[in-house]
Structure 1
Amino acid sequence: MNRIQKKIWMLAAVVLVIMAVIWITLTYYNQKTQSQYNDILQRYLRMNEVTSASQHVVTDLNNYLLEPSEVNLDKLDHSKANIRRAKDDVQQLKNTENEFALTNYMNLIDSLIETTDRSLMFYSESDTEASNREFTEATRISKYISEMTLTLIDTELKTYDRFYRGIIDQSAELKKLGIWLMLLITFLLLMITYWFSLSITRPVQQLTRAANELSAGKFDKEIKVDSNDEISFLAQTFNRMRININNLFQEIQQKAQLEHELQESKLLLKESQLRNLQSQINPHFLFNTLNTLSKKAYLEGSEETSDLLVNVAGLLRYNLKWLDRSVTLRDEVMVIQQYMNIQKARFTDRLTLNMEIDESCLDVQIPGLTLQPIIENAVIYAVEPREDGGVIWIRIKDSDERVMVEVEDDGPGIPEHKIQPILAGEVVHTDGASTGIGFTNVVKRLRLFYGVEDVMEIHSRMGYGTKIIMKIPKTKGVEQHVKANDRG
């Protein structure tokens, strides 16, 4: 999707490309002109170097003839080497227009060098007159070279006069081209800017008209914007908001109608509630009745029946009272003992209970009715189906920041592939019956109560029993965060 930011970058890129093209063109033209100027200047400098070198040769020859020494001879040799280099440089300047003059010019340089060598030769042979005559000839040749240099430079000036005039004409044309190019670039930028601004303002105007229609209460007209940038996305969001508002109005109308119907049915509902209350049994009446039966059984000498009724009453009272509250682990252990007393009265010697409890762990807070569903599952699946009954172990022990509650039985075990679904909160069906309901409720309540996920483990082996391990934090989730912040 093309976004507004992308369009801005495109506009900036177009401007940069145009500026870069202009800069490269001007730089190329300027570099080309500068190179041509530099070539002409180098021609003049090379010719002038020949004149200077010839004068140095005559001067150094004169010094040597006046005072022959190794130093003066070295200077003379150096001057001759310089004029030879200057000759080679000048030779590269030859063209069709100056070929004849430049050939004579180089011949004069060769004559100067030869005359200088003959003067030295005669001087070494002690022929002073001949040496002076050659020196005079060398001086004359040096003057010819200077005059020839001026002639060649004048010829070069005439030759490149057309070039200078061409550069002036090109500069004038370039100024005209620059003006037209500036006008063209300005026109293009205005067109691009207009197109760019129109691509933004047009969708905004469409969106503004749609907003005015919504403010007038017209929620049935679709909002459509012709663009493919953020404004289009905003229009789509605006359109969804229109649909949601329209749906909300319809829902309000439906709810108003339902409210009217509900008002009419309130009398029937109140009457139904009164009849339902009349049919309920007061829990206190039931507790008092069980206590009365327990005392009567005790007075009649049936102590076991009395104890059983007391345990049933206590268990019923606990189940109704602590379902939605937190209790201590001590309370849970007491109700488990009452529950197991009832089950022992039922199964007699078929049920064996072993309890290993660390008394220091019993003050930990725990959701009500946490242990009973686990114990009840152990009784149902490990004791009840077997003729010889079974054994249940309950262990409560300390483990650093947690209390470990273990409920183990010697029953048939749980298939391995069904353990994880039970911990994940799924109800597993086995042989037409469901299992895992107690586990699921307990796990969910423990996770919600303590704010942690790792609260229960199930270890089971088919034919060897099952061990349920509840890892009870010693502090609730909020308290853990407070303590962690205090330590930090």
Structure 2
Amino acid sequence: MNKIQKKIWMLAAVVLFIMAAIWITLTFYNQKTQNKYNDILQRYLQMNEVTTASQQLITDLNNYLLIPTPANLERLNGSKEDFRKSKYKITSLRNSENDFALTNYKNLIDSLIETTDRSIMYKSENEAEASAKEFSEATRISKYISEMTLTLIDTELKTYDRFYRQIIEQSADLKKLGIWLLLLITFLLLLLTYWFSLSITRPVQKLTQAANELSKGRFDLEIKVDSNDEISFLAETFDRMRININNLISEIQQKAQLEHELQQSKLLLKESQLRGLQSQINPHFLFNTLNTLSKKAYLDGSEETSDLLVSVAGLLRYNLKRMDKPVTLNEELVVLRQYMDIQKARFTDRLHLYMDIDESCLDVQIPGLTLQPIIENAVIHGVEPREEGGSILVRILDEGDFVRIEIADDGPGIPSTKIKQILQENDFQTDGESTGIGFVNVVKRLRLFYSLEDVLAIESKGKGTTVVMKIPKTRRIE
């Protein structure tokens, strides 16, 4: 089905929709009127039901007084119960017009039930005269109920007389509305037909004008036809040559812009490198100062302090040189031992380090400052909080094409939610000291360095934490 056919079907659908809307509106109005008629009729039937129930009650009472058998008494009780139910039904009929009359009506119903009960009671006590007197009173009340029913029905007729007149007026208005709707639908159909014809003829006229311009050699004017049918395809065919020329000019301009941006980027890169060198002046000054303090401590006989300063200086120098380039596992282990020497000076016998190293794996490349932040995390969270201290195990194993690195502590462990945050590379707050690199940073750099997602795993169940890194011996560059 082509686009023009779809437009025709759309026009037909609009007409059907308008007709359906009118039908639904009229149906709703008729149903509403019918429901109102049913409500009024139901009110009349409920009032008449009270009269019928009262007469049936008098009849059953008379039968029981004449023949006081259990069967007649049972029928009498049933009639009395039906009469009592009819009282509850007429409660919903109350309105401002019949409020007082309906109250008296309900009192008459109660009086008839009480009179009937007294007549039955006197009959059971063999007081025939009193029972007959109460029967006469019940008969009189039943007549009052019949008369009151007629009065209420007459009131209802007067009340709903306005409603009947409104229905007649609305019927007349509905006829007028039907005429106006017919005129409106006719106007809308004419409008839709005109719009539909324009949607076909206007694109054809534009396409004809564009063909005339092309025949005159004017290739700089855009051939644009606002249509969503097959005519737009013809316009695109005419416009293709002009678009190709414009694209060629745009490509030349873009290349010139890219060359300009490249020159600007080179200048910015040189400026950033200069600033980077300037930012390293203070750390280098601190490194040289630590070396001077180490020599002075050694000359003063404080060899332990001198060794500690040497470890700090080595760690600082490693941080300055190795952040932006890969290193070997051997270099990482050297800086790891320097860091642990510093921590042992702090924790003394509370900190124990065990290492199981496969020497054949030490030449494998790894991002700089990978192991030290993990060890630091184990010291801060696995050893420092415990008064008795703790142990850290570093194991490096050869697994064919991969090197397995395990760093385990016997601390309190890591909650599963925090493990999930780390592996999803979500930053979180940690207490204690930090190198500024961070566990999440290590995860990001490992995944970028090896182009692998499962390069690191964390195992922690109740007690202790083990960080497992599976490092490929050969990098896969994407």
TM interval, shorter chain, is 0.3 to 0.5
Computing the radius of gyration over CA atoms, which structure comes out larger, 1 or 2?
A: 1
Q: What TM-score do the two structures reach when normalised by structure 2?
A: 0.45
